[in-house]
Amino acid sequence: MVEEVASSAFGRPASFLETLDLELFGDFSRVLLSILFEALPFVLLGSLVSGIMEVFLPSEVLARMLPKNRFLATLSGALAGLALPMCECGVVPVMRRLIRKGTPLNVALAYMLAAPMVNPIVILSTMVAFRSMRPLTVTGLRIGLGLVIAMITSGVVTLFAGKHPHTISLKAPTAGRPTWREGSREALGHAGRDFIEIGAFLVIGAAISAALNVLVERKIVVQFAGQNVMATVMMMGMALVLNLCSEADAFVAWSFRDFSISSRLAFLVLGPILDMKLIAMYTRVFRKRTILILCACSLVLVFTATMLLSSLWPELSKPSPLTDAARQAQEMRP
């Protein structure tokens, strides 16, 4: 089918081998670069914040700010994105620095997982994207599910990841405070090192994602749009592969009009927590076991939560009524 269409497009037969040619390589490199152009400014921003925190934010201040109660501490970590908004690329170096400064793992993890969803920019963009289709419901559910899943995942990871869940060595308190000039230079230096370290892994993740993006047929995904369970699985797969920034992913989710709201919520909640580039970036922070638990837990929780939601609120699991006509037209095809 693909070959037929490609053949008609180019006016010549197109075999599988022929499609794996330089044009496809060009597509791969353009998609890879587009992901990097989008993500790198935010990784740099995160690295700069991380560098400033390293130099100008004493560990004791962080410790004093956190509630003693474990649940409240995790909740405050999950809500910290409202004060320190970060998308999922920028949040990794910040979280890394938080752990280095002695922030408990559950708090840092809750911040890392929730901040890309629970922040003013993403809340606004989700509302704008879904302005014609239950904006408050979709935005509210995204924030709610994001918070709950981030908190549970951080709790589970902290509980089961063992004594050494990450690869970061804790920073010993330094004597004296640097001058403004000295500190700025030092902060920029830290930012540079973080940027390269995280950026290299961003490139790996983006390359895997770009390859899948170019090679995988979208028809495989769309054909399951009418089946709630498979639609959710497919949308979760899309979240893993597309590597979208959480500040723009709501617009893409909106465009998947053939899919139910609940499956699109799975896309919106999973994307900022887990995708190819994030998995690669996590390897610079966590040990393998921790990453495995984090991946498994977030995948299971997102799937379960959206399934539960669609059974409690069946309306959300139905494809948009506006697409029924389109579906009928599709069925009329020979």
Partner 1 sequence: MNRAIHRIVGVGRVAVILGWAAFLAFAWYTTAYPQPGKPGRLGIINPSYRWLSLASAAALILVGGALLPTQRSEHAHGPEVGGQHKGAGDRDHEEEETASPGELVFQALFLAPVILSLCTTGSGLSGASLSRRGIHEIRLSEQPGVRSATPVPPAPMPPPGTELGPVQALSMADLYDYLLIGASPELLGRQVDVIGQHFLDERCGENQFLVTRIVVTCCLADAEVIGLRAQSSKPFNPSAGGPAARASKSGTWIRVRGKLRRLNDRFGNPALFIDDAAVSEVPAPADILLYPRRRTTPW
- Within 275-304, which residues bind partner 1 (CB under 8 A)? none
- Shortest Å, Cβ 169 to partner 1: 9
Is 58 an interacting residue with respect to partner 1 (CB under 8 A)?
no
The footprint of partner 1 on residues 96-135 (CB under 8 A) is 131-133
Nearer Cβ to partner 1 (80/101): 101
Which residue among 17, 136, 312, 332 contacts partner 1 (CB under 8 A)? 332
C-beta of residue 95 within 8 angstroms of C-beta of residue 60: no
d(Cα 111, Cα 98) in Å, to the nearest integer?
Answer: 10
Is 26 an interacting residue with respect to partner 1 (CB under 8 A)?
yes
- Count of all residues that appear for the chain in the document: 334
Which residue among 60, 69, 174, 313 contacts partner 1 (CB under 8 A)? 174
Is 252 an interacting residue with respect to partner 1 (CB under 8 A)?
yes
280-302 burial code (b ≥16 CB/10 A, e <16):
bbbebbbbeebbebbbebbbebb
Phi, psi (deg, nearest 5) at residue 166: -130, 170
How far separated are the first and last CA of the chain, in Å rounded?
A: 14
Indicate the SS3 state at residue 286. strand
The footprint of partner 1 on residues 308-327 (CB under 8 A) is 320, 322-323, 325-326
The footprint of partner 1 on residues 185-244 (CB under 8 A) is 185-186, 188-193, 195-197, 199-201, 203-204, 209-210, 213-219, 222, 242-244
Which residue among 13, 23, 60, 304 contacts partner 1 (CB under 8 A)? 23
Which residue among 82, 124, 171, 311 contacts partner 1 (CB under 8 A)? 171
Kindly give, in sequence order, each residue whose CB lies less than 8 Å from that of residue 298, ignoring residues fewer than 6 positions away: 113, 149, 153, 270, 273, 274
Indicate the SS3 state at residue 9. helix
- Shortest Å, Cβ 39 to partner 1: 9
Nearer Cβ to partner 1 (76/320): 320
